[in-house]
Structure 1
Amino acid sequence: MNPFLSLCLFIVPIFFLLLKRRSKPSKRLPLPPGSLGIPILSLFGKPTVFIHGQAANKFVFTSDSSTISNQQVASLRALLGERNITELSGEDHKRVRDALVSFLKPECLKQYIEKMDAEVRRHIDMHWEGHQKVTVLPLMKTLTFDIICSLLLGIECGARREILIKCFETLVKGLWSIPINFPFTVYNHGLQATNRIRNIVKDLMREKRVELEQKGASISHQDLITCLLSIGEKNNKEGMSEDEIVHNVVTIMIAGHDTSSILLTFIIRLLANDPTICASVVQEQEKIAKSKASGEWLTWEDLAKMKYTWKVALETLRIVPPVFGGFRKAMKDIEYGGYLIPKGWQIFWVKSMTHMDGDIFQDPSKYDPMRFENQASIPAYCFIPFGAGPRICPGYEFARIETLVTIHYLVTRFTWKLCCTDNGFSRDPTAIPAQGLPIQIVPKKILQK
């Protein structure tokens, strides 16, 4: 072929392609405003965009996995396990979520109230009774961990619990660490701790599988691990793999421990700061206490009467959500709010900024439990302490029962006042009150003499 003709055949298509491109205006959107910071010191070394508000929350909780994924930061993913529910999407997410809900749905939780009641009473007798001063946050963490061991793992008091709590504390410290795996790092210690916890859970699974084979369906809901093991044997349903059970048990331990303990701590702080709200809570709880025979357990019907106390809990979650927000990952270039979120960027949705938006909640800084008198009036995706949509936390009802039972026994047995003049709190990354909230406590039986 003539060299000139060959050159023309090569150049002409390129010329028309360039002409076509120049004839169309560029649709490239600007990046979100702000600085990316120093890579190593920024959020785990990746570009991250913060979003908040009703539209942002709806976008996060309703987008499919081809748009944004639920992939967590590297440290969380490694320590919790890649098959945990926060990492899964599509049919895998639905299957695992359905399995967890089979244990955590209200009709099943009714069976666990007595056990939770017993754990709360035992905790108060051991750590509150006979003390003049306590520090609330560490005690609430002890309580919620004991409840997790009893109801979710089926581990009673003893050496195994003690080993587990030490590993658990180390794991929690490593969750938000920089994922550098050297022997002296917090992340490395967290990896070692999570491996020990997984081995304990696997041992429990072997024991409970044998027990399940011997006793059958009658024990299928005695604890979370037994429940998850039994699902695959019922009606030939697809169950969860061993890794999925282990990873999700660890994830629920983390979720149930930090969120509930922080919520309880800040309710106790509120009741010390606001005598009017405290009096209303005490009145509601003492009315229930007086209707019970001595030593009688609380019931599902009793919890249903604690309407004002739960409004106080919801308002606490609005103003001080235990978890600041959550991560997602852009799986493709996304146009959002007139900006471009490039593929691979992290998206961090922020609860607090939505909860304190004056366009959603009137006078948002005011502590007002009655704003939850009619929860249906709050627009969708505006109150998100437990998430929203198909990814709403499956442990919502578990947390409600745990909170109401604990507050019932505390306010009917004690009064308290704050020992710390600093009423602020920090985030690390969960909310932590100054000095862990030290309080002076007085048993009510002394006041009645």
Structure 2
Amino acid sequence: MNGILLVALLLLIPILFLLGKTKQSKRVPPGSLGIPIIGQSLGYLRARRANIAEKWIEDRINKYGPISKLSLFGKPTVLIHGQAANKFIFTNGGGNIVNMQIQSIKMILGDRNLQELSGKDLCRVRGALVSFLKPESLKQYVYKIDEEVRSHIQMHWEGKQKVKVLPLMKTLTFNIISSLLFGLESGKQRDQFMNPFQELMKGVLSVPINIPFTRYNRSLKASARIQNMLKEIVHQKTVEQEKNGINPRQDLISCMLSMVEDDKQVLTENEIIHNAMLVMVAGYDTSSVLITFIIRLLANEPAICAAVLQEQEEIAKGKLLGEPLTWEDLSKMKYTWRVAMETLRMVPPVFGGFRKAATDIEYGGYIIPKGWQIFWVTSMTHMDNNIFPEPSKFDPSRFENQASTPPYCFVPFGGGARICPGNEFARIETLVAIHYLVTKFSWKLLSDNSFSRDPMPTPTQGLLIELFPRKQLS
């Protein structure tokens, strides 16, 4: 009996050794997954709202090193950061890393949106969006954005002594999106979108526990309402297309409906609706936040404000009274766009992003298990002194020669093949808005410079300012 036991032990030792080696080779990064489902989500969200999210990340890095595990929004997650991490995220084209958003975004925006797709589906849907959002297509929409901006300023700014900038910028970007993406001009149908859309935005970044009265629950209900309204618009445009044909450049939905291959529509109805919602959400918050923080910056930096004003007044002098801006005018706004780029560096609207490991991935000496989220953080390279000297100093000259910035270090729009397809759209919105605001008004801040992230950067009191009309150029 003892002999049999000895033989069994001798056979078991190499098996245990091999299992031990396998376990070691599959070593996940250090850290803790915390409480099931909740994990570190609440702590992370609290840090964002208190505008100490960077410190929250730095504390983790100091404790666990450059790569660590945690749980965010119901999923096991690996945090990575830095230039190498950005390159790893944006150039991993072998299928090891796939698009994925946190559960709340997926459920609120729909599972056929661009951020949830990979492979052929990603190429097909991205191609449809890019056909509308590429510079060659957007050139013809400058006049429409110009019209929306001037109408907005006349209605909400002129004759006012004080305004809250962020709410107004959100109104502006919502109206531009409604017009260009859905073909909704000002009126009842456009107005019906506003309240559910604002409710939807509140729960985009939330713990996905669907119980009554939570942000997530209210956002899901708002999403259902918006999807039903978009479905009605799609049906209206489909009928119009069948009866009279449709101008594919009329708006984004018309463009997506008009895309046909082998007598079949390229995109399904769900893909049209889910991606219209994605562009709506992405364009609404990011551009409004960028314009708001440029206005904040210009109030704090008189020399930079004077240089922006000089550039914009030179353009205004070449225009007839009431003549809209053109694509050529925007191309002359080089300094203004450098100011916008530096604003994006210091206050990126998107704090970070998520991907998913499609297979076990080795990174930084550890294994990121298949199915886990990968969380990367924008500002860790934007505020790195080794990349951008004196990172807390606002200096638009950093972007005079953009090629001098190391690759994968300035990533407000992402990078590589997954760079945001709407970045040119955001540039046009921003430049047109800043042109009319700086040539019509000066302003001073009536609130402090603090802001939170909920989920986007949100200044105290919505950035309350006092307005002073400028003498208009004759």
1:32–1:339: 8 Å Cα contact kept in structure 2?
no
Paired letter, 1:115 = K
1:324 to 351, 358, 371: 351
Q: Compute the displacement of 1:166 (Å).
A: 0.6
Which residue of structure 2 aligns with residue 160 of structure 1?
Answer: 189
Counterpart Cα distance in 1 of 2:7 and 2:106? 53
Q: What is the correspondence of 1:52-201 to structure 2 with a 5 Å cutoff?
A: 52-64=81-93, 66-201=95-230
CA contact (8 A) 2:83 2:409 kept: yes
Distance 1:432 1:18 in 2: 55
Identity among equivalent positions (%) equals 60
Aligned residue number for residue 235 of structure 2:
206
Deviates more, 1:15-24 or 1:265-274: 15-24
Separation in structure 2 between the aligned mates of residue 171 and residue 375 of structure 1, nearest angstrom: 36
Alignment-derived partner of residue 240 in structure 1: 267
Structure 1 residue 236 displacement after superposition: 4.8
Partner of 2:463: 437
Local SS of the residue matching 1:410? helix
1:306 and 2:333 are equivalent in the alignment: yes
Matched, 1:278 2:278: no
Distance 2:399 2:252 in 1: 31
Distance 1:324 1:364, change over 3 A: same
**Is the contact between residue 74 and residue 208 of structure 2 (CA under 8 Å) also seen in structure 1?**
no
SS in 1 for 2:245: helix
Asked if structure 2 preserves the Cα contact closer than 8 Å seen for 1:413 and 1:443, the reply is yes
Change (3 A) 1:440 1:343: same
- In structure 1, which of residues 24, 29, 32 is the aligned counterpart of residue 30 of structure 2? 32
Contact 1:65/1:89, CA 8 A, preserved across alignment: no
2-structure distance, mates of 1:23, 1:138: 57
Would the alpha carbon gap of residues 17 and 269 (structure 1) be closer, same or farther in structure 2, given more than 3 Å must change?
same
The answer to whether 1:269 aligns with 2:296 is yes
**Take 1:252 and 1:19, find their aligned partners in 2: how far apart are those partners?**
53
CA distance in 1, matches of 2:271, 2:19: 49
Shift of 1:265: 0.2
**Contact 1:36/1:47 (<8 A) preserved:** no
Alignment size in residue pairs: 443
Q: Counterparts of 1:198 and 1:112 in 2: how far apart (Å)? A: 25
Q: Which amino acid aligns with 2:189?
A: R
CA distance in 1, matches of 2:402, 2:355: 27
1:205 to 1:22, Cα distance in 2 relative to 1, 3 A: closer
In structure 1, what is the Cα distance between the partners aligned to 2:17 and 2:198?
63
1:273-324 CA-to-partner distances (Å, cap 9, x unmatched) read 0000000000000000010001101001000000000000000000000110
Question: In structure 1, what is the equivalent of residue 449 of structure 2?
Answer: 423
The separation in 1 between residues aligned to 2:176 and 2:38, in whole angstroms, is 38
Change (3 A) 1:7 1:66: farther
Deviation for aligned residue 1:24: 9.4
Root-mean-square deviation (CA, aligned residues, Å) is 2.7
Q: Which residue of 2 aligns with 1:228?
A: 256
**TM superposition shift of 1:213:** 2.8
TM-score by length of 1: 0.92
Matched, 1:345 2:372: yes
Q: C-alpha displacement at 1:34, in angstroms?
A: 6.6
After superposing the two structures, state which structure 1 stretch, 356-365 or 86-95, moved more: 356-365
Q: Deviations over 1:173-220 (max 9, x none)?
A: 111122222232221211111111111111111111222233436x11
* SS of equivalent residue, structure 1 residue 240: coil
Equivalent AA in structure 2 for residue 356 of structure 1:
M
* CA–CA distance in structure 2, aligned partners of residues 8 and 240 of structure 1: 66
Change (3 A) 1:118 1:344: same
> In the TM superposition, what is the alpha-carbon distance from 1:416 to its structure 2 partner?
0.4
Pairwise CA distance, 1:225: 0.3
TM-score, normalization by structure 2: 0.87
Q: Which runs of 5+ in 2 are unaligned?
A: 42-72
**Mapped contact 2:33–2:76 kept (Cα < 8 A):** no
User: Quick one: structure 1 residues 206 and 341, their matched pair in 2 at CA, closer, same or farther if it must change by over 3 Å?
Assistant: same
